Homo-oligomer: A and B are copies of this chain.
């Protein structure tokens, strides 16, 4: 592969430079350098953006897998078990936990704390928690940048774990190539209700804790639901971001209308069973994820999902760059005066926004 060759060249040049170049050390897979790079990138400042620019040509190789589900489904244990399967194949694995309840984020401790620690000590595994709130520009953008760093660092598989509640969190998982939605028997009604918004983004369903009572009934229910969906003629793009590739959003938001992925062969959402705590069903789950990757690549959907993700990121960065430009041009106190006018109800915020934009960049056409 061309990218692999470029990566080797970059590693070589990093070696020549004495290894003190952060981008070079990231490309070489140095765990400390990766951690430093992520911290730099998360700040959203210029040095982070410059670093991403250097790393970007080496990205696009990783299979990004989103794993999501309600609290109590044991998805962190599942992620750890999946990572071990990928490691046994020799792949480097990145884990990004956007989930305050995850043990990866220092959340609730599950039964297999020791195995988690084994994972963290493995030089071929990089774990990053995005649990802390207040990322500048939002956690979705920050996650996207972190995935890019891990991709450049040679992680062939990047697992993004989200708690599966909340708009940003669903948006994040939606940007993965393959979305695994985790369910489990025996959860309360309130928790079960959380899953409503998740089914629509699933590429693969997995019933974890399959050794517990109620697992078979849950599997049957989910199989019936997916059979119903398969009865419809096509695998109409449930990944709403797909649409961004074909529509030009004029409203300042990433394009999100759902369109039928009409070039795609039908994908029937499989329902898998697993007992992650006992390492059961994990190989089968990973095989289903592999099948989904082959499906995406054969049907051109892989590239279309990349394109959607790029458009969404690009729109975000353009809005940030535009806002910075505007702020540079405003006279001292002008922004504060505008806020004051809106607080005092002399202007409404939409009109105020249009006015300041028109004043700096000219009238709308």
Contacts and interface: CB of A to CB of B under 8 A. Distances in A.
A309 to B, nearest CB: 9
Given A193-B71, A318-B326, A339 B365 contact: no
A236 interface: no
Chain A, interface SS category:
helix
Contacts of A168: 166-168
Contact of A193 (B108, B325, B356): B108
Contact of A133 (B197, B318, B339): B197
A303 B344 CA distance: 10
* A contact residues, range: 35 or more
Interface string A125-155: 0000000011111111000000000000000
A251 B137 contact: yes
Contacts of A249: 327
Count copies of this chain in the complex: 2
Interface string A334-361: 0110111011010011111110110001
A249 B253 CA distance: 20
A287 interface: no
Contacts of A321: 252, 353-354, 357
Interface in A302-316: 303, 306-307, 310-311, 313-315
9 contacts: A56-B345, A57-B348, A72-B190, A136-B251, A165-B165, A251-B323, A307-B339, A317-B352, A317-B353
